[in-house]
A and B are shown apart, each in its own frame.
Chain A
Amino acid sequence: EAGVAQSPRYKIIEKRQSVAFWCNPISGHATLYWYQQILGQGPKLLIQFQNNGVVDDSQLPKDRFSAERLKGVDSTLKIQPAKLEDSAVYLCASSLSGTLYNEQFFGPGTRLTVL
Chain B
Amino acid sequence: AQTVTQSQPEMSVQEAETVTLSCTYDTSESDYYLFWYKQPPSRQMILVIRQEAYKQQNATENRFSVNFQKAAKSFSLKISDSQLGDAAMYFCAYRRETSGSRLTFGEGTQLTVNP
CB distance from A111 to the nearest CB of B (A): 7
- Least CB distance from B102 to A in Å reads 4
A83 to chain B, nearest CB (A): 22
**Chain A 25-57, CB within 8 Å of chain B: the 1/0 string?**
000000101000000111111001010000110
- Complex: how many Å from CA A102 to CA B102? 10
Could you tell me if A104 and B43 are in contact, using CB atoms closer than 8 angstroms? no
Chain A residue nearest in CB terms to B103: A104
Contact flag A44-B105 (CB < 8 Å), given A101-B50, A106-B44, A109-B43:
yes
Number of residues of chain A lying within 8 A (CB) of chain B? 27
Is B42 close to A, CB under 8 A? yes
Check: A14 CB closer than 8 A to any chain B CB: no
Say yes or no: A95-B105 contact (C-beta < 8 A), given A101-B33, A106-B45: no
Q: Which residues of A contact B (CB under 8 A)?
A: 31, 33, 40-45, 48, 50, 55-56, 89, 91, 93, 95, 97-98, 101-104, 106-109, 111
23 contacts between A and B (CB under 8 A): A33-B102, A33-B103, A40-B107, A42-B4, A42-B91, A42-B93, A42-B106, A42-B107, A42-B108, A43-B91, A45-B102, A45-B103, A48-B102, A55-B100, A89-B43, A91-B43, A97-B99, A98-B99, A101-B50, A106-B45, A108-B44, A109-B43, A111-B43
